[in-house]
Chain A
């Protein structure tokens, strides 16, 4: 397992991991669905519809092993829905995806986690009335004492429980939560809960960690600490896929960025250049947000609007209705609508 390799690796290997991850992406095209040298997760044609709305429609995407990949996109782009499909928390209408070469569509959420693909949630799910340490212990896999009959005989699981506790204590130490170990998780601050959720996910010994907005609602002081922990996951040989809105953070820690908009992957690329990709700019700010109108276009628009106004003025006279506030408002509105429609048409044409 990657995790074990990392634990025994010398400190000098730390920077190698980042360099290796960056090297893997060198020279890749920035087209959506570009093939990666060593993908851990390969997704094909995943579609999820809610009634008439197609929330996710991803044709092809690959996640490079041992890297930190960011998934960004404007609100409503379908990032979290996509996460839910991949981790078995929601059922995709169609499509298939493989994790380490194993087909994962239709696999229930708990099995996805057992195979080594663990997620966290946008709204942190700390188990409030369990202590921090119990939260951590829960993450360990293959616990003998989680079987009903064996649970009745503590000597069957006591030794394993001690090992789990030891590993949990180490992780708590690393995440600076050791002092809180016997507090209820519900008494932690928002940022500490994020830390706890990430540490708890590590108890599963995952290969791929999927973080849904790890920085949401975390105060700036803790952000740096959280960033460090995310980078640390890569140093330990894990692969990270995370959803995030904060572009500074994306630039700081990710090796590769995948951009989603309206359910589809629209671009991929390295974090330094992705935000200047025209497709990404369009997705975030709308198409042609800053393209200036030419003089000819401006004149044509003006002429159209005036023509409409004249037409409506003529109609009003023809009906011989006394001009009152209501009727003047009518044509005014119509002209406004006409201008808007014209503007929209313009954008469509150009």
Chain B
């Protein structure tokens, strides 16, 4: 069995584009759910808005790439406002219902036949990332990081931009969450009425939180679209949101680096288990499953691992056990 292959694929995945996308998506969710207690089940909508903004602006309308980025950021703010205005005054579970519906509406709109000319229907849109890769400072070739892993020049460029965005987002969240602004958010998570009785406009803070997390979600959408040089509606289904939640809880909610480490571990583990099983089947070590069965089985095993984690370490990797103990009181 090729252990080098198994390990290198896993390490590549843990710093690769998936990890970046899910780290950003989960950082956004961390603002919503981890800090403010908003149950946003439609994070995929913000990713879709970001991805489709770039793709549609460039391919459909032939406008410059950076205009697409600007439109994506603006639309994610608009989406957050649209979702928040009717629901943030209501109980938390209403937001969950509306966000999951909003995400589905956006996915169904971009895959609709009627709008195929604009959004490309189920095939999606390709050939919009030229403007982004034109800025690539890496000359053509393979780049090795350490002895066993390496990426081509385009992936290197996406990863560089992606990890810079992750770092900037983490820095922003760090500054915000140790400020009085972040204190109000955390207090809202604990008890809205108490915060209201202390003279804070809870609605306004929840809206700011929804917008901030949504914009970070749109950044994840940019990286998603650019790393694949394509957008497809099925990439933005509810599964994406739930994986982002998994990543967040795995790393530890309301922790700055929780989503980042969560994403790296989630993808690293998934690929490690997958590649290991494939190799084992190919070399005849395991005979009772086939290579096509490896895909589903790795999800089963990772799911089992997550269940064990939640049972034995419910606070996640970075969480504080004392906080979990408080919930039990």
Contacts and interface: CB of A to CB of B under 8 A. Distances in A.
Contact of A127 (B191, B196, B202, B327): B191
B200 A110 contact: yes
Contact of A129 (B172, B199, B201, B323): B323
A118 B198 contact: yes
Interface string B7-36: 000000000000000000000000000000
A240 to B, nearest CB: 16
A113 interface: yes
B181 interface: yes
B193 A157 contact: no
A109 B186 contact: no
A127 B190 contact: yes
A93 to B, nearest CB: 19
A146 B202 contact: no
Nearest to A164: B180
A130 B179 contact: no
Interface residues of A, number: 43
A127 B329 contact: no
Interface of A: 87, 89, 108-111, 113-114, 118-121, 125-130, 134-135, 137-139, 141, 143-148, 151-152, 154, 157, 161, 184, 186-187, 197, 200-201, 203-204
B180 A146 contact: yes
Interface in B157-209: 172, 175-176, 179-184, 186-187, 189-191, 193-202, 208
30 contacts: A108-B196, A109-B196, A109-B197, A110-B196, A110-B198, A111-B199, A113-B196, A118-B197, A121-B193, A125-B191, A125-B193, A127-B186, A127-B191, A129-B189, A129-B323, A134-B186, A134-B187, A135-B187, A137-B180, A138-B183, A138-B195, A148-B181, A148-B208, A151-B175, A151-B182, A157-B180, A184-B322, A186-B326, A187-B326, A201-B198
Name the 10 nearest CB pairs between A and B, nearest first: A145-B180, A151-B179, A151-B181, A113-B199, A125-B194, A186-B326, A127-B190, A109-B196, A114-B199, A125-B191
Contact of B172 (A127, A143, A152): A152
Contacts of A152: 172, 175-176, 179
Contacts of A125: 191, 193-194, 197
A277 to B, nearest CB: 33
Interface of B: 172, 175-176, 179-184, 186-187, 189-191, 193-202, 208, 212, 322-323, 326-327, 329
Given A129-B190, A184-B323, A89 B181 contact: no
B190 A128 contact: yes
B175 to A, nearest CB: 5
A144 B179 CA distance: 10
A197 B194 CA distance: 9
Given A129-B326, A130-B190, A184-B322, A146 B184 contact: yes
A349 B177 CA distance: 67
A145 B176 CA distance: 9
B181 A147 contact: yes
Contacts of A113: 196-199
Contacts of B184: 138, 146
Given A118-B198, A121-B197, A125-B197, 11 more contacts: A108-B196, A108-B201, A110-B201, A118-B197, A127-B186, A128-B326, A128-B327, A130-B190, A148-B208, A151-B175, A152-B172
B62 to A, nearest CB: 35
A89 B193 contact: yes
B194 A151 contact: no
A117 to B, nearest CB: 10
A113 B184 CA distance: 15
Contact of B199 (A110, A128, A135, A145): A110
A184 to B, nearest CB: 6
B249 to A, nearest CB: 16
Nearest to B205: A146
A146 B181 contact: yes
A312 to B, nearest CB: 54
Nearest to B196: A109
Nearest to A158: B179
B187 A127 contact: yes
Contact of B197 (A120, A134, A137): A120
Nearest to A120: B197
B190 A145 contact: no
B27 to A, nearest CB: 16
Contacts of B183: 130, 134, 137-138, 146
Nearest to A143: B180
Given A129-B326, A130-B187, A187-B326, A151 B180 contact: yes
